[in-house]
């Protein structure tokens, strides 16, 4: 799933290529991807791209005051083409959910792999009307996201710090991958309770959050859309690296699995050397 750094890079990529172009077509390959009814997607046609913005993990194309907003979710992606195929996309079994064309023959497809369809697009007069945007917490890369702001957020959440970092209504843009990375850099257990962290731990977590995201944005910036997924994977220290060596201490990277996701961490760096309980392995250990 693309998170804040990849979405930010996609925003910059689209900004560079589309600002000033005019939308000449919006086609749906999947009816269910569009979550709004009015204005219709055809309202975008004939409008110039005035701006491209990010809200958390949402992308927002401002087309003459009508906004095409989309969220790539778990398996969605954006595929750019300098010369779009002429064939009109029709609803069907295609992995292409939405196609947008511009007046210089370029355009992009939003694609979604797998069977769990969660890619979502919205056509709205105001991005604030998208429920997932209206409920977003503060963006961790803005100047006013200070240590004091973060400390107040942590103090008011008696929940596991991993869950707090991932909750879009608390902090916008961080998902499963970067929360693993941030916690590894901060040397904190994913299961530590946010409200019980001491001042030094909160500062470590804040510094790790900002540095990890800033570093990932810098690494992703300027990369074409098709390279971002591999670049994200290559930059990970522990996320997705179960069984590999921790780059800090040489211990093995461990995993805790859940029904539909997993987290990775280093026991030596983050949990005082004690492996966390995992529902899959613990039944064999008993
Ligand atoms: Zn380690």
Residues 30, 221: Cα–Cα separation, whole Å: 30
Q: Could you identify the residue written with the tokens 């990375």?
A: 181
188-213, pLDDT tens digit by residue? Answer: 999 999 999 999 999 999 999 999 99
> What is the CA angle 134-165-176, rounded to 5?
100
Q: How far is the CA of 265 from the centre of ligand 1 (A)?
A: 8
Q: State the distance from the centre of ligand 1 to the C-alpha of 276, rounded, in angstroms.
A: 14
CA of 30 to the centre of ligand 1 (A): 44
Q: How far is the CA of 221 from the centre of ligand 1 (A)?
A: 28
Residue 118 pairs in a beta bridge with none
User: Which DSSP letter does residue 182 get?
Assistant: H
Looking at 4-106, which runs of residues are DSSP E strands? 23-28, 49-55, 58-63, 66-71, 76-81, 96-102
**Ligand 1 center–CA 217 separation, angstroms:** 24
Q: How far is the CA of 266 from the centre of ligand 1 (A)?
A: 5
Given a cut of 60, is residue 286 above it in pLDDT? Answer: no
Handedness of CA 79, 80, 86, 89 (dihedral sign): positive
Rounded distance from Cα 246 to ligand 1 centre (Å): 5
Per residue in 13-60, pLDDT tens?
A: 999 999 999 999 999 999 899 999 999 999 999 999 999 999 999 999
Judge whether 213 and 178 are in contact, CB under 8 Å: yes
Of the pLDDT bands very low, low, confident and very high (cuts 50, 70, 90), residue 116 is confident
- 237 CA to middle of ligand 1, Å? 10
* Mean pLDDT on 228-233: 89
The answer to whether the CB of 179 falls within 8 A of the CB of 162 is: yes
Angle between helices 199-220 and 176-186 (to 10 degrees): 130
pLDDT at position 281 is: 59
Query: If you measure from the C-alpha of residue 269 to the centroid of ligand 1, how many angstroms do you get, rounded to a whole number?
Result: 4
Q: Ligand 1 centre and the CA of 157: distance in Å?
A: 27
For position 284, what pLDDT does the model report?
47
d(C-alpha 49, C-alpha 46), whole Å: 10
Q: How far is the CA of 252 from the centre of ligand 1 (A)?
A: 7
Distances (CA, A) of 142 to 5, 145, 155, 181, 185: 13, 6, 20, 20, 20
pLDDT above 70 as % of the chain? 97
Residue located via tokens 């939308």 = 23
Assign 3-state DSSP to the chain and report helix, strand, coil percentages, each to 5.
Answer: 35, 25, 40
Q: 66 C-alpha vs ligand 1 centroid, how far in Å?
A: 48
């Amino acid at each position: 799933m693309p998170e804040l750094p990849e979405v930010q890079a996609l925003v910059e990529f689209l900004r560079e290529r589309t600002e000033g172009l005019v939308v000449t077509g919006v086609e749906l390959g999947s009816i269910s991807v569009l979550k709004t009814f009015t204005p219709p997607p055809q309202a975008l046609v004939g409008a110039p791209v005035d701006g491209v913005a990010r809200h958390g993990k949402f992308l927002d194309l401002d087309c003459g005051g009508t906004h095409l907003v989309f969220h790539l979710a778990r398996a969605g992606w954006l595929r750019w083409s300098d010369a779009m195929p002429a064939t009109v996309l029709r609803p069907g079994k295609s992995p292409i959910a939405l196609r947008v064309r511009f007046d210089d023959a370029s355009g992009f497809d939003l694609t979604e792999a797998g069977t769990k369809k969660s890619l979502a697009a919205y056509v709205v007069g105001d991005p604030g009307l998208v429920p997932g945007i209206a409920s977003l917490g503060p963006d961790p890369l803005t100047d006013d996201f200070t240590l004091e702001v973060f400390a107040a957020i942590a103090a008011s959440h008696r929940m596991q710090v991993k869950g707090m970092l991932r909750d879009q209504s608390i902090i916008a843009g961080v998902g499963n991958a970067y929360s693993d990375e941030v916690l590894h850099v901060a040397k904190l257990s994913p299961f530590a309770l946010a409200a019980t962290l001491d001042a030094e731990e909160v500062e470590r977590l804040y510094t790790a959050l900002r540095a990890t995201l800033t570093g990932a944005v810098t690494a992703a910036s300027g990369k074409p859309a098709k390279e971002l997924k591999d670049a994200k994977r290559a930059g990970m220290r522990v996320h997705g690296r179960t069984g590999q060596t921790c780059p800090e201490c040489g211990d093995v990277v461990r995993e805790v699995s859940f029904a539909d996701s997993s987290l990775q961490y280093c026991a030596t760096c983050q949990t005082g050397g004690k492996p966390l309980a995992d529902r899959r392995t613990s039944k064999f250990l008993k």
